Amino acid sequence: MSVALGLNRPLVVRTTLVGDPGDLLARLPEAAPYAWIRHGEGLVAWGEAARVAVPPGPRRFEWARDWLSDTFGEAHVDDDVGAPGSGPVAFGSFTFDPDAQGSVLVVPRVVLARRDGRAWLTTLGEERLDLVTPLRDPGRIRYGDGSLTAPEWEHAVARAVRQIRSGRLEKAVLARDLTATAEREIDVRLLLSRLARRYPGCYTFSCDGLVGATPELLVRHTGETIESLVLAGTVSRGTDEADDMARGAALFASEKDRYEHTCAVESVREALAPLCSELKVPEEPELLVLSNVQHLASPVTGRLSAGASVLDVVAAMHPTAAVGGTPTETALDVIRELEGMDRAGYAGPVGWIDARGDGEWGIALRCAQIEGRGARLFAGCGIMGDSAPAAELAEAQAKLRVMQYALEG
| 327: preceding bond cis by omega (within 30 degrees) | yes
Cα 165 from chain centroid? 31
Report the DSSP beta bridge partners of residue 287: 296
Would you call 241 a catalytic residue per the annotation? Answer: no
Q: Taking the chain, what is the end-to-end CA distance rounded to the nearest angstrom? A: 44
**Percent of the chain as helix, strand, coil, to the nearest 5:** 30, 35, 35
The CA distance from 409 to 404, in Å, is 8
Question: In angstroms, what is the C-alpha Rg of the chain?
Answer: 21
Would you call 284 a catalytic residue per the annotation? Answer: no
Cβ atoms of 355 and 77 within 8 Å: the answer is yes
The CA distance from 357 to 116, in Å, is 19
Nearest CA-CA partner of 329 in 218, 192, 169, 219 = 169
Three-state secondary structure call for residue 307 = coil
101-112 CB burial, b ≥16 within 10 A, e <16: ebbbbbbbbbbb
Residues 6+ apart with CB under 8 A from 253: none
Residue 281 burial (C-beta neighbours within 10 Å; 0-12, 13-18, 19+): middle
Cβ atoms of 121 and 110 within 8 Å: the answer is yes
Question: Which among 171, 339, 360, 399 is annotated as catalytic?
Answer: 171
339-356 CB burial, b ≥16 within 10 A, e <16: bebebbbbbbbbbbbbbb
Question: Which among 30, 48, 154, 216 is annotated as catalytic?
Answer: 216
Which residues are identified as catalytic?
171, 216
